A and B are shown apart, each in its own frame.
Chain A
Amino acid sequence: MDNLPGSQGSPDSIQSEHDQPQRPLGPVGPVEPREATGTKEGPRAKLLRRVPTGIRGLDTILHGGFFSSGIYLIAGEPGSGKTILSNQIAFNHVASGGRVVFTSLLSETHARMFAQLSSLSFFDEGPIGGALYYISGYGVLQKDGLKGLLSLLQSAIQDHQATLLVIDGIMHAEPFASSGPTIKEFVHSLHQYAEASGCTILLLSSRGSGTGSGTGNGNKAVESDRVSLETTVDGVIELCRERVGMQSVLELEVQKFRGSAHRRGAHTMEITGNGIEVYPRTELLLSSSASSASSVQAIRTGPASRERLPFGIERLDEMLLGGLLHGSTTVLLGPPGSGKTLLGLHFLAEGARRDEPGLYFGLNEPPPLVIDAADEIGLDFTGFVSEGRIEIFWQPALEASLDLLAQDVLATVRERGVKRLFIDGLDAFSDVSAYSERLALFLTALTYQLRALGVTTLTSVELEHLFGPTVEIPIKGVFAIVENIIFLRYVELRAQLYRFISVLKARRSKHDLAIREFTIGEAGIEVSDALASAEAILTGLARPLPLNEEPIQGTR
């Protein structure tokens, strides 16, 4: 079997691989040493051929796929996606030139399974019966036990020149182990045969709901067999369904992978019309890419690292000594209606005028509303969007994977060469996230990746209260992540509401410490001089200064 699909070694092009469109199987690039997660691959491991799953996120987690001739267990409770995952891998394998035998030990018929899979885009009747061959092992198992099943599978591998064998329902073989070889012996023998013939094996096994990685459902014999099986195989992938509040979240975890590092911990996945989509945790991808010399170099000494990107609002740009530093991340902090979105739209419009491609990424307002809002203050988003200078990406703030959002943003940034990014409503990320505790790490990873790509990012964060002496930041730890903070505030003074803007933080840069009033009119945002006649403005409840008292102004 010289034409096995796969590639030597394992790829680790995290930034590119994670964000690129789904690609066909096949050689997946050079090997890079991994340091951040798992064990290092030894030189012998690099000699093993990788068999990609063809599922982008899963291949990223596995650093390129399974090892050829390896035997892997995919375990999960009913409804966690085992059958779809294994069939998807099988179809992908065939599409890349491999040959697959799919054996079911379940009583469910293949016809029923095909009917259920037929709505998924990877399903194709073409190779079924040819390069992708489905057989039932149920009858043989009933009649001849594990010995008969072993013989059947060996014949099937040989007859069909299989490079991938899938056995669905391996735990159903357990009751037949009493009068012949044990499950462990069966798997061992099968593995030996597969190794000699260059065939990779996937075993699918049900696991009781809520058992997680361990405790089983009380049946000690079944649990013992499962543990025995897990010690025998080269790798274990667990699928599970978790309830987080009202959300049901599908997760995938590689619990064991002999001979290679892998991205540890749980990763979310979804069952879509394309089959299983796996989203590696964004912050985990960072951990292996952040330390790469090229990445750090790109951030520290990029050709335009001291370049300033203006808003096109004269006095605001003066406050920022010309604009936001290239590659920096800035938070626009303010209560509802304070002008955060419009300021962000100004930033993108000014970029469009300077031929700097911009991306609006929002979770709240659909594109037509964004375009209308910009057009109404003379920013001509209709023109910029139609000319392709600005792209609007909208993801309704419903249930969505954080990692998928990051993947979409980064993919668009790369594809369109985006220089200016405005994320409207960063706080909405915490609403869509099933696990809010990982938000700060996630944002660290995302901003790092954007910085490395040379993107200057502006993001709005909404404050809950319109007025008051205290400010509650809805996302914990966000200030440590960003370089700049621009604070927008409503101020009540002499029975009148005013909008004020100030620069609270500008890392690596001086900035104007003044608090300035701004207005929103038909010509957009206009920033006025510093307010010299009041104090306690940032509390939202300003006090007029005594007439003889002069305010202190300056830059830092």
Chain B
Amino acid sequence: MQSIPQLSKLLERTILVPANIMKMILVVDDELSIVEVVATLLEQEGYKVLTAAGGKEALACLEKNKVDLVLSDMMMPVMDGRELCKRIGADATHSAIPVVLMSGTHSAAHLDGCRYAAFLGKPFDMQKLLSVVASALREK
């Protein structure tokens, strides 16, 4: 027989899953292994996921899709996460999209002039990632 706290967790999950199905997350990272792991995790949680290997590709993706949140790496070739974040903020059609930045360092240095919803230092705990994403979507 399940205890009361476990039941409440089960109920919470049942309620959240349909809501996640409605959300589209764009994962941007030049490290393919990170993209694969994060995308798989988010899809398991019921999110729809788009991926891009860099900032430029991400902007092109935003033009074609309705995205609810961008989860982007900081250091990427051609256009990095900071520039992507700035471009999203400067574009009236996308400025409402929350951007969560990730980086191999745990320092949010070099992010001046960049408006982001949250910062995640890699490697991160998967539960923390889900919690940050859910929180950023709620505050949208």
Contact = CB atoms under 8 A, between A and B. Distances in A.
B131 interface: no
B106 interface: yes
A334 to B, nearest CB: 59
Contacts of B78: 152, 155, 159
A205 B33 CA distance: 21
Contact of A139 (B30, B74, B106, B109): B30
Interface in A108-163: 109-115, 125-126, 128-130, 133-140, 142-143, 152, 155-156, 159
A134 B122 contact: no
A109 B33 contact: yes
Given A126-B109, A135-B30, A139-B32, A109 B75 contact: no
A553 interface: no
Interface in B56-88: 74-78
A465 to B, nearest CB: 61
B32 A129 contact: no
Contacts of B105: 114, 125, 128-129
Contacts of B122: 109-111
Interface string B107-140: 1011000000000011100000000000000000
B75 A110 contact: yes
Nearest to A133: B75
B123 A107 contact: no
A403 B53 CA distance: 47
Contact of A136 (B31, B103, B106, B123): B31
Contact of B107 (A109, A126, A138): A126
Contacts of B109: 125-126, 129-130
Contacts of A139: 30-32, 35, 53
A159 B53 CA distance: 17
Contacts of B33: 107, 109
B50 interface: no
B104 A136 contact: no
Interface in B23-50: 30-35
Contacts of B30: 135-136, 139-140
Contact of B77 (A114, A115, A155): A155
Contact of A134 (B75, B106, B110, B123): B75
A374 B12 CA distance: 78
Nearest to A101: B77
A111 B38 CA distance: 14
Contacts of B53: 139-140, 143
Contacts of B76: 135
B77 A156 contact: yes
A143 B30 CA distance: 12
A134 B104 contact: yes
Contacts of A112: 123
Nearest to B76: A135
Contacts of A138: 31-32
Nearest to A115: B123
A159 B82 CA distance: 14
Contacts of B31: 109-110, 136, 138-139
A139 B74 CA distance: 16
B123 A130 contact: no
Contacts of B77: 135, 137, 140, 152, 155-156, 159
Nearest to A114: B104
Contacts of B106: 125
12 contacts: A109-B122, A110-B31, A110-B122, A112-B123, A128-B103, A129-B105, A134-B75, A134-B104, A139-B30, A139-B32, A139-B35, A139-B53
Given A109-B123, A111-B34, A139-B32, 10 more contacts: A107-B33, A109-B34, A111-B122, A129-B109, A129-B110, A135-B30, A137-B77, A140-B53, A152-B78, A159-B78
